[in-house]
Chains A and B, each alone.
Chain A
Amino acid sequence: MTRWALCLLLLAVGLTEGAAQDQLLEQAAGRYAILPENSEIAFHVPAIAGRGIQGRFTDFDGQFVIDRRDVARSEVAIAIRPGSAATGQERVDRFVRGPSVFDAERYPEATFRSTAVARTGPQTAIVEGVLTARGVSRPIRLTATLLSLRGRDAAFEVAGELPRSWFGMQAGVPLYRDLVRLSVIVTGRRR
């Protein structure tokens, strides 16, 4: 008898959660343009000691689509101008923007285009996609968390780690790790 009750309870919880998810999705569905002024694309390259290299891109744009019925059909595309990389240190900026790392003159744009979105929780998803930087395209995986839905604006926190050497940007290894951590906040406004 107790077993039946427990099953029913679990079913009820499952249903409510599903309903809540769908409600959230319904509310968030739409086509969004990314608002750069309310977004941030930060990167961190850890070092064997000290702070490593921390910075952000100030020039980027993009859009995302949240599908009304199926999260998996959502999409995101972002274009970043790596010439806007800023670390707070002029010498590091020149180095990072220059031919040693991004080579922004030859490769003025880096892009991310999603290929698959999988929901992992009420407000979280894994976004797989192709990152193209310095002329190299590689599949990468990012995690996304819904931060807020307010009016026409939706904000997500996106994070991921990838080897710099994938894109020929292993400058400074082994003093600096062959790794870049991306931490992104994207705010989109529904069109």
Chain B
Amino acid sequence: MPTSTDSESRHDETVDLDQRIDLYRMMVEARVFEEMAYRMFVAGLVKGTSHLAIGQEAIAAAFAAAMRPGDLTFCTYRGHIHTLLRGAPPSRLMAELFGRGSGICGGKGGSMHLTDASAGAMGSYAIVGAHMPIAVGAAWAAAERGTGQAAVCFFGDGTTNIGAFHEALNMAAVWSVPAVFVCENNQYMEYTPIRSVTAVKNPAADRAQSYGLDSVLVDGNDADEMFHTARSAVSKARAGGGPSLIEASTYRHGGHSRADPGTYRPDDEVADWKARDPIPAYRERLIAAGAEARRLEAIEAAVDRTMHEAVEEAKAAPVPPTSAIGTNLWADGGSAWRN
């Protein structure tokens, strides 16, 4: 666990209270969406598997707040919230988890494969590390075309030991692409603590030097610190300053996936991290900074309503027609492999 920092002192004075309240709203959206996904899984409506990001919301929210329309997000199978916070409609995300025709990918993606290209959410990737070189390519194209886009690629601590991580960071650095690589170090790859299988203490930050990048280690549960970090890295990318690698310490409150109760983690460790839940801590800080409790309560109520409506819409949505099986493999809309 990172040492506690005086986060208020790291608060960037150029960020006003309204922006911080918006960051709070995004974290609440992410939390409530995930809680609903969990309940719907238990109710049998979410099929297959789901990997929840409860406890890790500050990282996705900070980057979503720091990014502009047109910027590109690449995330992992623990990517419901990254997709949501870029602007994908919650009802269509929930419908995708339910396997409904109105799902964001028409029911062909599922929990681990959420994409909303219109929102710049360019996919959640279920093979560890695969999206890192893809993010390099998207950022490279942005630079070549002069679009001013930045690509942000989220990945877990487990990714730091797969080849694609190293190939991607080297190429990103050599080509100086406008990309930000964000390690969400939640301390466990799946069931195994990352420290027990990694030669260095900080699995991403300690490798940065190998690629000529700065070693950046931040408290991923501190929304202010995360936002400051995100804004700097995205601005640097956009300004032609090349890629960044950020390691954000955090913790998932639950297990790896729905099949995992997470019992391999010591009780006191779980309790410590839950005490550092990013959302209530940030709420207190905002109140101390002058936010009205009523305003935050109104946000919480509105988010709750939105997510309940999303669930009801998804429940009411029809399943995809079986004819969808053969559509959209090819650009012509079909899937023919012969004439």
The answer to whether A binds B is no
- B residues with a Cβ closer than 8 A to A are none
Q: Which residues of A does B touch, CB under 8 Å? A: none
